[in-house]
Amino acid sequence: MKRNILVAYDGSKLSEKALQEAKLQAAGVPETEVHVVSIVTQTGPNTNVTIAKGIQYEMADEIRPDMERINREFDTESIPIYTDIVIADSTQNAGAKVCEYADEHDIDLIIAGNRGFGAVKKWLRKSVSYQIVQGAKCPVLTIK
């Protein structure tokens, strides 16, 4: 039976731990594929779309070396891997975009880091992991 695991990757220590968990989940389980996805959201000015998109593409370029390294690591362990950098439009939360990707790729498990924000910060920031847990149609494993 084919199994698809998605790791939400942002370059943080917790997303690195999520990668290690994905390796453990996939090790020795035939037909398991790991998808590593990094969502780049708009962080620049809303008034100038061209500048905002340019910043997003620069951020995506900064993540590419990590994705290449991740590909090599998983290839070394003979774990099928797919990496993707998704540029979200200005209205999309990264967590919602992860859930959308999961739906489109028949993901069975999402693994994401959780920074452990307190209740007030979660409410104010709507953390990515919180959005994933709330929006996912498959099991979600959060890493602390």
pLDDT class of 123 with cuts at 50, 70, 90: very low
What pLDDT was estimated at residue 42?
72
Residue 45 pLDDT > 80, yes or no? Answer: no
What mean pLDDT do residues 125-135 have?
A: 82
pLDDT of 62-87, one tens digit each? 899 999 999 999 999 999 999 999 88
pLDDT above 50: residue 14: yes
**Helix, strand, or coil here: 87?**
strand
Q: How far is CA 112 from CA 57, 86, 117, 139, in A?
A: 23, 16, 14, 11
Task: Specify the CATH number for the domain of residue 48.
Answer: 3.40.50.620
Residue 126 or 77, more confident: 77
State which amino acid sits at residue 94. A
State the Cα–Cα distance between residues 129 and 144, nearest whole angstrom.
11
Contacts of residue 144, Cβ cutoff 8 Å, sequence gap at least 6: 14, 113, 114, 116
The pTM assigned to this predicted structure is: 0.86
Domain count across the chain: 1
**Mean pLDDT over the full length of the chain:** 86
pLDDT, position 124: 44
Share of the chain above pLDDT 70, in %: 83
* Mean pLDDT to the nearest integer, 114-119: 60
> Which domain covers residue 18, as residue numbers?
3-143
Please say if the pLDDT value at position 122 is more than 50. no
